[in-house]
Amino acid sequence: MAESDSGPTSPLDILGNIPARFLEAKHRLNQVVLWAAIVGILAGLVGTCFRIAVHHIRPQRQQLAAALADYPILNWLIPSLVAGGMVYASFWLVRRVAPDTAGSGIPQIEGALDNLLPFDGWRVLPVKFFGGMLSIGAGMIAGFEGPTIQIGGAIGKMVAAFVGASSEQARILIASGAGAGLTTAFNAPIAGILFVTEEVRPKFDSWILSYRSVMVASITAAIVLRLLVGQEGFMKITHFERVPLGTLWMFVILGVGLGIVGYYFNFFLFRSLDWFGRLRGLPYQLLGLLVGSAIGWLGWLYAPLVGSGDQSVIWTFNSEAPGAVLLLVFLGRFLLTMICYGSGEIGGIFAPMLALATLFSLGLAQVCDAWFPGQLPQPGVFAVAGMGGLVAATVRAPLTAVMLVMELTDNFLVALPILLTCICAAITAHFLGGEPVYSVLLKRILKKLERQPPSDRI
Contact 343, 288 (CB under 8 A): yes
pLDDT score recorded for residue 457: 34
pLDDT score recorded for residue 24: 55
pTM: 0.90
Q: Which CATH architecture has domain 24-229?
A: Orthogonal Bundle (1.10)
> 227 CB contacts (<8 Å, ≥6 apart)?
none
How far apart CA 50 and CA 347 sit, in angstroms, is: 12
pLDDT score recorded for residue 456: 33
The partner residues of 143 in beta bridges, in order of sequence, read 348
pLDDT score recorded for residue 208: 86
| Domain locations in the chain as residue ranges | 24-229, 245-456
Tens digit of each residue's pLDDT, the chain (458 residues): 444 444 455 555 554 555 655 455 555 667 999 999 999 999 999 999 999 999 999 888 888 888 888 888 898 999 999 999 999 999 999 999 999 999 999 999 999 999 899 999 999 999 999 999 999 999 999 999 999 999 999 999 999 999 999 999 999 999 999 999 999 999 999 999 999 988 877 678 788 889 999 999 999 999 999 999 988 878 888 888 899 898 999 999 999 999 999 999 999 999 999 999 888 888 888 999 999 999 999 999 998 999 888 889 999 988 888 989 999 999 999 999 999 999 999 999 999 999 999 999 999 999 988 888 877 778 889 999 999 999 999 999 999 999 999 999 999 999 999 999 999 999 999 999 989 999 999 999 999 888 654 433 32
pLDDT score recorded for residue 452: 59
Contact 122, 162 (CB under 8 A): no
Q: One fold for both 24-229 and 245-456?
A: yes
pLDDT score recorded for residue 430: 95
The partner residues of 348 in beta bridges, in order of sequence, read 143
pLDDT score recorded for residue 239: 85
Superfamily of domain 245-456 in CATH is Clc chloride channel (1.10.3080.10)
How far apart CA 314 and CA 332 sit, in angstroms, is: 17
